[in-house]
Structure 1
Amino acid sequence: MTQPQPSVTPKLSEPKFGFNEYAERLNGRAAMIGFALALAIEYVTGQGLLQWLGLN
């Protein structure tokens, strides 16, 4: 006996955690902000980020 296939696909909300489009977009934006802040710190202080953190 064959069962009928569903005709409507349920609309599920996309999860906010894990490997999904929302998480990847959020991570990319955070990385761009961090990179821009690192460049701003280097420009304002005249030191590299490692020097500013005391690691060099």
Structure 2
Amino acid sequence: MENQQPKFGFTEFAETWNGRLAMLGFVIGIATEYLTGQGILSQIGLM
């Protein structure tokens, strides 16, 4: 049986997925602002 690294905590696996999801969220946020013409704070009713 192979030794596998844990998939939780500050591991390379977790940090890779964290970065990918952060980039995806950033692109979705920019696209939403572009398509609606409103910033994120306006969309959620804070401004």
| TM-score, shorter chain, exceeding 0.5 | yes
Percentage identity across paired residues of the two chains: 54
Ranges in structure 2 where 5+ consecutive residues have no aligned partner = none
Describe the superposition over 1:21-46 as per-residue Cα deviations: whole angstroms up to 9, x where unpaired.
Answer: 00000100010000000001100000
How many residue pairs get aligned? The number is: 46
The equivalent of 1:12 in structure 2 is 3
CA distance in 1, matches of 2:14, 2:40: 27
CA distance in 1, matches of 2:27, 2:45: 20
Higher RCO structure (Cα 8 Å, ≥6 apart): 2
Counterpart mapping for 1:17-28 below 5 A: 17-28=8-19
TM-score by length of 1: 0.76
Ranges in structure 1 where 5+ consecutive residues have no aligned partner = 1-10
Within the candidate set 21, 32, 42, 2:33 is matched to 42
CA-based RMSD: 0.9
